[in-house]
Every structure is written in structure tokens, then in C-alpha cells.
Amino acid sequence: MKVKVNNREIETFSGALVGDALLKYSKKEYKFIRNGEKIVVDKHDNKRFLSGELSAGETLYIKNKG
């Protein structure tokens, strides 16, 4: 399935979680999010968690915390 992270299309497996897509996007950014230095939001600015489910076509954005 395809999702977007910071407007870059990522191909991941069906049933992938937010964390799976972020790892494929950038291990460095994943670590920042895991450590609480950054957050992930969807296109409606809702916070998403690494363990959250993804659907095909979703768009995620990585933001600095605060």
C-alpha cells in the first residue's frame, strides 16, 4: 500500500503501522519521534502514534514538538 510522509510517497505492506512507514521514510526521524523530540500528525493535524494503523493513501507529517 502507498502512503505519504512529508509529501514523499512510501510503499509499505498492507496492515502497516505508522511506525513502519516512518522507519521506511527515515530511521533518523523515527528515532526523534520515538524519543519524543518530534511528533507525527495527519493531514487534519491530528496527532498519530507509532502504533497507530494506517490506511492506503494516508498522508503523515513530521513536526517539531511544541
Per the prediction, the chain carries an average pLDDT of 96
**All domains in the chain, ordered by first residue:** 2-64 (3.10.20)
Placement of cell 495527519 in the chain: 42
Q: What is the pLDDT of residues 40-52, one digit of tens each?
A: 999 999 999 999 9
- Cβ contact 26:60 at 8 Å: no
Residue 66: pLDDT band (50, 70, 90) is confident
Q: What is the pLDDT of residues 7-16, one digit of tens each?
A: 999 999 999 9
Q: CA–CA separation, 32 vs 12, rounded Å?
A: 21
